[in-house]
Structure 1
């Protein structure tokens, strides 16, 4: 078993894609770095914190990106976002079989403010354009920095979100909520609370994540392959029916969870008899438990994908 969480972006790419198949666009040798950071005398990275390119996944041509959480928490700036957008547009131009996004980001860089916000909006539009072209877009979240802010919104523009329990997904990060509303609203130092609220298990039960896997690169790879196949079979496009179903799910979720501040209370409402035991369950046992009980917020069938057993050689 190889931990996905512990890898850098450049280590995750060869761990997920077929061995030796990935061709990077604008590698560090191209020296494409953020001009804004340089003007502020801030450290720069010659890949601007994201790897983009094209490779094979199970023999299929898949375009991919991996955000580097070790550089500014994977935060998005103008160049970082432009690389993601360019990769997505090229995937459409070349008729890729899928796009795989290995996301790890705290959101937009404060250093680049409006430029970063515009970049994130362009990423979301490019993701939806890829889906409209019939290309499945799969988001993977399992890094230590989680996926927050604009990239948290972007992740939900994908056909399928694959997470580990260690991954985290939300609009605002715990520190941001605490800074804005005080520790009484959210204690960012309470790690158990943070993972109960933003971690993979809670996101799966709320319908924000379609697949939960253990923190293992082989499991992520197998789940990505299965998700691509499932989405391709059901259609990658975002339809009006999909939007109405999503809106209905969100309305039910809002009504059912009104006044509930503790995720375990939500889990109890879903019919889980021992919500306090959920954090201790391994991914496989958790998925078995979830399958046995009522889930009001289950995603639409066309977007759903079951975790696959890792098979085959990379």
Structure 2
């Protein structure tokens, strides 16, 4: 299997795009690096941990970014964030079929403090501006770091989120929650619990993720093409009200649940205890009716 999880950022991009061709903006040869990390005696990366560029997906022009999770956990700093914002702003000028964001990140780069926080807020605004211009912004999550912190919020601003079971999505990461509230609240070493709580299957059931795919670059590519065909849902007050109604419903269902499996049962899923062992296609078949009825 052509695993998405096991590839680095450039390999994922090349696997997704036609003929493996990426016209990279600000490649490592340009050496655009963080101005903050050297002051902290921290190593830099010549692409600052994110690749941005253009290519084609089934012949359609797209702009794309891929975070390198092995550099600072894919965390966003000033330059890293500026590259993402610049890509999204370019999309508004060039009008590609979509913007693909391959996110693999723990959130903000704490070395860069406010610069990183501002960068993430600018990414969120740029995503919403692109969507408002009718450009689909599609997030793909399937790397080792998942997608957490401010970038977890940014992902939820996108038109569509595609995840594998191996992907994770949330605000505070498991280790952060355990540190703040204790292991009794959340044991970050319990991998089964972590994936039940923020993994791709759970996020798909809750409606945070629109497509769940196997850990395969080909599967992510096919799902991205489907998301492009769906187009960019317009941002509207009515859409926001629907989203708030769904979140209220989720809070009511989750009240007093001590484990995600309890919530799955409340959603009407039969034999919830068996779900973690199912492959993606079988999981979707077993849960789609309950998912549609819950969030209709």
TM-score, scaled to structure 2: 0.98
In the alignment, which residue of structure 2 is the partner of 1:82? 82
Task: Give unmatched runs, 5+ long, in structure 1.
Answer: 301-314
Q: Counting helix residues as a fraction of each chain, which structure ranks higher? A: 2
1:280 to 261, 277, 280: 277
How far did residue 3 of structure 1 move? 0.4
How far did residue 242 of structure 1 move? 1.0
In the alignment, which residue of structure 1 is the partner of 2:110? 110
1:245-284 map, 5 Å = 245-284=242-281
Alpha-carbon distance in structure 2 between the residues aligned to 1:74 and 1:249? 30
Cα distance per residue 1:6-41 (max 9 Å; x no partner): 000010011001114320000000000001001111
Q: Does residue 1:236 correspond to 2:236, yes or no?
A: no
Q: Does residue 1:11 correspond to 2:8, yes or no?
A: no
In the alignment, which residue of structure 1 is the partner of 2:222? 222
How far did residue 261 of structure 1 move? 2.0
Q: Does residue 1:42 correspond to 2:42, yes or no?
A: yes
Tell me if the contact between 1:135 and 1:236 (Cα under 8 Å) persists in the aligned partners: no
Alpha-carbon distance in structure 1 between the residues aligned to 2:79 and 2:241? 35
SS at the partner of 2:18? coil
How far did residue 293 of structure 1 move? 3.0
Cα distance per residue 1:124-168 (max 9 Å; x no partner): 000001001110000000001100001100000001100000000
Cα distance per residue 1:26-74 (max 9 Å; x no partner): 0000000001001111011000000001111111110000000000110
Tell me if the contact between 1:205 and 1:297 (Cα under 8 Å) persists in the aligned partners: no
1:191-206 map, 5 Å = 191-206=191-206
Tell me if the contact between 1:22 and 1:54 (Cα under 8 Å) persists in the aligned partners: yes
Alpha-carbon distance in structure 2 between the residues aligned to 1:25 and 1:294? 40
Alpha-carbon distance in structure 2 between the residues aligned to 1:52 and 1:4? 18
SS at the partner of 1:19? helix
SS at the partner of 1:209? coil
Tell me if the contact between 2:206 and 2:291 (Cα under 8 Å) persists in the aligned partners: no
Alpha-carbon distance in structure 1 between the residues aligned to 2:248 and 2:15? 39
Task: Give unmatched runs, 5+ long, in structure 2.
Answer: none
Alpha-carbon distance in structure 2 between the residues aligned to 1:71 and 1:136? 28
Count of residues in correspondence between the two structures:
296
SS at the partner of 1:112? helix
Cα distance per residue 1:151-204 (max 9 Å; x no partner): 100000001100000000000000000111111110000000000000000001
How far did residue 103 of structure 1 move? 0.4
TM-score, scaled to structure 1: 0.92
Tell me if the contact between 2:105 and 2:145 (Cα under 8 Å) persists in the aligned partners: yes
Alpha-carbon distance in structure 1 between the residues aligned to 2:293 and 2:146? 25
Tell me if the contact between 2:169 and 2:199 (Cα under 8 Å) persists in the aligned partners: yes
Cα distance per residue 1:63-88 (max 9 Å; x no partner): 00000000011000000000000010
Tell me if the contact between 2:56 and 2:62 (Cα under 8 Å) persists in the aligned partners: yes
Alpha-carbon distance in structure 2 between the residues aligned to 1:33 and 1:271? 50
Tell me if the contact between 2:13 and 2:20 (Cα under 8 Å) persists in the aligned partners: no
In the alignment, which residue of structure 2 is the partner of 1:24? 24
Tell me if the contact between 1:4 and 1:215 (Cα under 8 Å) persists in the aligned partners: yes
Aligned-CA RMSD value: 1.1
